[in-house]
């Protein structure tokens, strides 16, 4: 696999080695030793799988306690995936990175603890799977406003997002609970 840096050095883009022939394809989506050798020494404890239709925006989510690292990928469809640095001690606090993840490109993104995360579905539907480094604790979940001008996220144009009530009620960065 290749591990590529992003504009946020702690957020890593992963391109797995894919073995493909006339029968189909195979790749390892996770190998603890290979990931550790690449600098991603995370202890994943939970796997999640969601399906969303075109235009659904999920996020920007994080847990203020029990911060979760995430290894995310798309197994059907395509999304615009975003991570926002919420660590006040980071020189990149409040900055974000956005990448396209799809079943076709098979790329994965590692989002470490201390970041908010979300995605917008670009295809008719998308199935999104991810591993987390801690369990989900609803009492600690927070939502950062997806369209906060202070973040300056360039979401793909021409899509009016469909939001869950908790995502529509996200708070701006200036009012958000953040990490030290």
Catalytic residues: 61, 130
Tokens of 20: 């493909």
Structure tokens at 36: 């550790």
DSSP reduced 3-state for 167: helix
Q: How far apart are CA 87 and CA 85, in angstroms?
A: 6
- According to DSSP, residue 39 is labeled T
Beta strands in 6-67 (DSSP E): 12-15, 19-21, 24-26, 46-53, 57-63
HSE (CB half, 13 Å, CA atoms) of 36?
Answer: 7
Query: Which segments of the chain does DSSP mark as H helices, in order?
Result: 32-37, 165-168
């Amino acid at each position: 696999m290749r591990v590529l840096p992003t504009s946020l050095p702690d957020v890593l883009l992963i391109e797995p080695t894919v073995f493909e022939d006339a029968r189909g394809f195979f790749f390892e989506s996770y190998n603890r030793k290979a990931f550790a050798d690449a600098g991603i020494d995370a202890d994943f404890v939970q796997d999640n799988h969601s399906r969303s239709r075109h235009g659904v925006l999920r996020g920007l989510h994080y847990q203020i306690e029990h911060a979760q690292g995430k290894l995310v990928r798309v197994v059907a469809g395509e999304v615009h995936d975003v991570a926002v640095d919420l660590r006040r001690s980071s020189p990149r606090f409040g900055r974000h990175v956005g990448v396209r993840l799809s079943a076709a490109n098979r790329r994965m993104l590692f989002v470490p603890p201390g970041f908010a995360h979300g995605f917008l579905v670009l295809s008719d539907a998308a199935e999104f799977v991810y591993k987390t480094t801690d369990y989900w604790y609803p009492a600690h979940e927070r939502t950062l406003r997806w369209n906060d001008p202070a973040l300056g996220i360039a979401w793909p144009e021409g899509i009016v997002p469909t939001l869950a009530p908790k995502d529509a009620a996200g708070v701006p960065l200036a009012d958000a609970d953040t990490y030290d």
